[in-house]
Chains A and B, each alone.
Chain A
Amino acid sequence: MESRSRHFKANAAASLANPVLQANLKTAKGKFVDKRAIAIKEIDDFEGSREAARNIRNRVLENLDLWLEKFEENATARGATVMWAKDGDEICRHVAEIGKRHGVQKAAKSKSMLSEEANLNMALTAAGIRPIETDLGEYILQINNNEAPSHIIAPVVHKSLDEVADLFHQVHKTPRKTEIPALTREAREVLREHFLTADMGISGGNFLIAETGSVALVTNEGNGRMVTTLPRVHVVITGIEKVVPTLEDLSLLMRLLPRSATGQSISNYVSVLTGVKTPAERDGPEHLYFILVDNGRADVVGTEFQDMLRCIRCGACMNHCPVYQTIGGHAYGWVYPGPMGSVLTPLYTGLENAIDLPQAATLCNQCGVVCPVMIPLPELLRKLREKQVEKHLRPWFERIALKIWAGVAASPPLYALGTWLGVRYLKWLAGGRDRIPVLGVAPGWTLGRDFPAPEGKTFREQYAERQGKR
């Protein structure tokens, strides 16, 4: 997917000015945050489970190559083909080749964020394969001129019921429906035919299990099962970091993932798919391919950002993020929004291509405390800011302001003089009022609020005066 992260500020301004989006974001926040808060209480020791989950993910990352080889060995032994993709283009080439090999004309897709990274649908179309998104949210986006998802597990969370009703009415050329069950029925009727006629199913993978060579899929709509069992060919596309050692590890992670993501004790469907259809089996794909993707991940292994690779894509960080809640996912400009996206986007697409994202956070650490695998997201964002400074990527006026401020703060006499002048300047700006409506030195502050006026003398002045009197 082409990154629009460079335009973060403009994207965010558009989001703030969109009343429909603002209303939708408010509704979504209530659902996600409140439901998770209830769901995590079902686990006696949620914090202990988070620590265990962190440890499992760390164990994998410490020997990622070995776990991947083990996965490859076991998946291959069960008839699957494991392929490796360096980047998005290689994913597209692999899928197109697989399609050609098996004479594929239509591919039914379950949700896969990797296919968003790779812009796979466009490549499939170019290769003569018709991609059909079958996750309801992704389907809505596809029929709306291939709109980008705004959330990793709820791709159309930015849309209202009315908007979907209008879209179905226009695209399906059916009478406009306003009830959710009627709309989903309509989508099911359209999608059913595609499930039955697709030659290839494409899915993501929530986890790869090294000891069995399986992929675990966590879904709510049942489309994942259709896509992975009905077509002759099943292609799993997922990141190399998604591997876990054992089924036991999977069960622990599954205690955390649905609860953190949607506040469900367990998702409607959890599928563990292993190997191709054997002669004794009636269902399942004849051909199973795993495309395991790097696309920037291997470069993060062994760096100060390795903790980020623990991510299990639950979306809790964005659901709880005050910035995401205020501007929605599209503003972030690439595949992954919110705090995890603000770390991943610069790491995967280049620091210089997402200059605002690490800065666009209050560092409130709400994300860090809800993360089921304990990724220190604010700390990673801060480290990215440090990288920006090291590589001279910050704007010149910010660099100069910071240098001047640091020089003054290091020198008590200069600091006393600077604050003496500063406080009088601000007092003069306020002009006898208790507030400053336009602040020239920090215009960003007064865009949407006033700046309270200072008392008039610094603490150090008043303290010295009082000490003198004593």
Chain B
Amino acid sequence: MRVALFVTCLVDLMRPRIGFAAIELLEAAGCAVTAPASQTCCGQPAWNSGDRAAAVALAKKVIGEFTGSEYVVAPSGSCADQIRNEYPAILADDPEWHARALELASRVYELTDFLVNVAHLENLPGSFTGSVTYHDSCTGLRSMGIKEQPRALLAKAPGVELKEMVAAEECCGFGGTFSVKFGEISAAIAAKKCGNACASGADTIVGGDLGCLLNIEGKLRRMGNEETQVMHIAEVLTAQK
């Protein structure tokens, strides 16, 4: 299987190691992986800010870039949803582009979903040891059906003990530009998420969307919690002891 990695702008900027971990996982599942160099952002910040023109331009750019790929995989439920579910809506008025959006939509996946349901990853490259709790990011969970896939992968790691938190499906308060426009409200919601995550007793908080993870980590540190680790699922699945 040939996979084009949609790195996502946050991973590109903040945590490139998540992108490389995703490549390692996809290769472990037998995929040939490339990361097209011209990619930038899926345009979700523009779409969710109400800037239709910018969202249309970026949707067309991404569709053009990934037209030749067999599969497109993103280490983010939110960005994958933007491409799969929002692009067809964004381009609904343009029959040609709408058709192209639908065509791409049928080939785009969130990383854990792809590893479990398409590539059927058998053996994990990593050997992480520790207790983890999994935060279900909203868009991945409610729009992409990402719930069991990351847990199925964690279950393959013998050193991982999953300790579910209360209200794992509740929003962490990130919300994209919401986190900056309404910083105090956003951080107050994050405090609740951190409280629930820490109460699980896990040493590491794991999730599939970097935006949520930056929000959670930033809040933990501000609260004075220096111990709890925050990691992307791809990092956990590829980590060495």
**A→B interface (CB under 8 Å):** 9, 12-13, 16, 322-323, 325-327, 356, 359-366, 368-369, 382, 384-390, 394, 398, 402-403, 405-406, 408-410, 412, 415, 419, 422-423, 434-435, 437, 442-452, 454-455, 457-460, 462-464
Q: Is the CB of B143 within 8 A of A445?
A: no
At the interface, is chain B mostly helix, strand, loop or mixed?
helix
Q: Is the CB of B13 within 8 A of A423?
A: yes
Q: Is the CB of A458 within 8 A of B40?
A: no
Q: Is the CB of B7 within 8 A of A363?
A: no
Q: Which residue of chain A has the shortest Cβ distance to B39 in the bound complex?
A: A412
In the complex, how many angstroms separate the beta carbon of B130 from the nearest chain A beta carbon?
19
Q: Is the CB of A459 within 8 A of B173?
A: no
Q: Is the CB of B218 within 8 A of A435?
A: yes
**B17, B138, B214: which contacts A362 (Cβ < 8 A)?**
B138
Q: Is the CB of A389 within 8 A of B35?
A: no
B160 CB-CB contact with A under 8 Å: no
One of B45-53, B109-117, B150-158, B200-208 at the interface: B45-53
Q: Which residue of chain B has the shortest Cβ distance to A457 in the bound complex?
A: B16
B2 CB-CB contact with A under 8 Å: no
Which residues from chain A contact B39 at a C-beta distance below 8 Å? 412
10 A-B pairs (CB sep. < 8 Å): A322-B171, A323-B185, A362-B189, A388-B50, A406-B46, A412-B39, A444-B183, A448-B191, A451-B218, A452-B218
- Return the CB mask of B212-241 against A: 1 if under 8 Å, else 0: 001101110110000000000000000000
Q: Is the CB of B14 within 8 A of A454?
A: yes
The complex places the Cα of A390 from the Cα of B49 at a distance, in Å, of: 11
Which residues from chain A contact B40 at a C-beta distance below 8 Å? 408-410, 412, 415
Q: Which residue of chain B has the shortest Cβ distance to A466 in the bound complex?
A: B20
The complex places the Cα of A306 from the Cα of B86 at a distance, in Å, of: 20
Which residues from chain A contact B171 at a C-beta distance below 8 Å? 322, 362, 364, 366
Q: Is the CB of B142 within 8 A of A369?
A: yes
Which residues from chain B contact A462 at a C-beta distance below 8 Å? 16, 20
**B41, B49, B214: which contacts A409 (Cβ < 8 A)?**
B41
Which residues from chain A contact B173 at a C-beta distance below 8 Å? 322, 326, 362
Q: Is the CB of B13 within 8 A of A406?
A: no
Q: Is the CB of B188 within 8 A of A448?
A: yes
B77 CB-CB contact with A under 8 Å: no
In the complex, how many angstroms separate the beta carbon of B13 from the nearest chain A beta carbon?
5
Q: Is the CB of A363 within 8 A of B175?
A: yes
Q: Is the CB of A422 within 8 A of B222?
A: no
Q: Is the CB of A449 within 8 A of B190?
A: yes
In the complex, how many angstroms separate the beta carbon of A254 from the nearest chain B beta carbon?
27
Which residues from chain A contact B184 at a C-beta distance below 8 Å? 12-13, 16, 444, 447-448
In the complex, how many angstroms separate the beta carbon of A424 from the nearest chain B beta carbon?
11
Closest 10 CB pairs of A and B: A448-B187, A362-B175, A444-B183, A385-B50, A406-B54, A459-B16, A364-B171, A364-B138, A449-B218, A386-B50
Which residues from chain A contact B189 at a C-beta distance below 8 Å? 322-323, 325-326, 362
The complex places the Cα of A77 from the Cα of B96 at a distance, in Å, of: 55
Give the size category of B's interface with A: 35 or more
In the complex, how many angstroms separate the beta carbon of B187 from the nearest chain A beta carbon?
3
The complex places the Cα of A462 from the Cα of B14 at a distance, in Å, of: 12
Q: Which residue of chain A has the shortest Cβ distance to B190 in the bound complex?
A: A449
In the complex, how many angstroms separate the beta carbon of B232 from the nearest chain A beta carbon?
12
Q: Is the CB of B143 within 8 A of A447?
A: no
The complex places the Cα of A423 from the Cα of B190 at a distance, in Å, of: 24
Given contacts A322-B170, A366-B138, A410-B58, contact A450 B180 (CB under 8 A): no
Which residues from chain B contact A419 at a C-beta distance below 8 Å? 9, 12-13
In the complex, how many angstroms separate the beta carbon of A125 from the nearest chain B beta carbon?
36
Which residues from chain B contact A386 at a C-beta distance below 8 Å? 50-52
Q: Is the CB of B16 within 8 A of A447?
A: no
In the complex, how many angstroms separate the beta carbon of A386 from the nearest chain B beta carbon?
4
The complex places the Cα of A57 from the Cα of B43 at a distance, in Å, of: 34
**B46, B47, B139, B188: which contacts A365 (Cβ < 8 A)?**
B139
The complex places the Cα of A447 from the Cα of B41 at a distance, in Å, of: 26
In the complex, how many angstroms separate the beta carbon of A435 from the nearest chain B beta carbon?
5
Q: Which residue of chain B has the shortest Cβ distance to A362 in the bound complex?
A: B175
Which residues from chain A contact B46 at a C-beta distance below 8 Å? 402, 405-406, 409
Q: Is the CB of B185 within 8 A of A326?
A: yes
Q: Is the CB of A402 within 8 A of B54?
A: yes
The complex places the Cα of A279 from the Cα of B48 at a distance, in Å, of: 60
The complex places the Cα of A447 from the Cα of B185 at a distance, in Å, of: 10
- Return the CB mask of B6-35 against A: 1 if under 8 Å, else 0: 010101111111011000000000000001
Which residues of B40-95 have CB atoms within 8 Å of chain A's CB atoms?
40-41, 43, 45-54, 57-58, 61
Q: Is the CB of B58 within 8 A of A406?
A: yes
Q: Is the CB of A455 within 8 A of B15?
A: yes
The complex places the Cα of A368 from the Cα of B171 at a distance, in Å, of: 13
**A326, A443, A452: which contacts B14 (Cβ < 8 A)?**
A452
Q: Which residue of chain B has the shortest Cβ distance to A399 in the bound complex?
A: B51
Q: Is the CB of B57 within 8 A of A360?
A: no
Q: Is the CB of B214 within 8 A of A452?
A: yes
Which residues from chain B contact A444 at a C-beta distance below 8 Å? 179-184, 186
8 other A-B residue contacts (CB within 8 Å) besides A322-B170, A385-B49: A361-B175, A362-B186, A394-B50, A398-B49, A437-B222, A444-B181, A448-B183, A448-B222
Which residues from chain B contact A415 at a C-beta distance below 8 Å? 40-41
The complex places the Cα of A336 from the Cα of B227 at a distance, in Å, of: 42
Q: Is the CB of A360 within 8 A of B50?
A: no
Q: Is the CB of B187 within 8 A of A449?
A: yes
Q: Which residue of chain B has the shortest Cβ distance to A408 in the bound complex?
A: B40
Q: Is the CB of B185 within 8 A of A459?
A: no
Which residues from chain A contact B45 at a C-beta distance below 8 Å? 402, 405
Which residues from chain B contact A403 at a C-beta distance below 8 Å? 54
Which residues from chain A contact B48 at a C-beta distance below 8 Å? 363, 382, 385
Q: Is the CB of A464 within 8 A of B50?
A: no
Which residues from chain B contact A326 at a C-beta distance below 8 Å? 173, 185, 188-189, 192
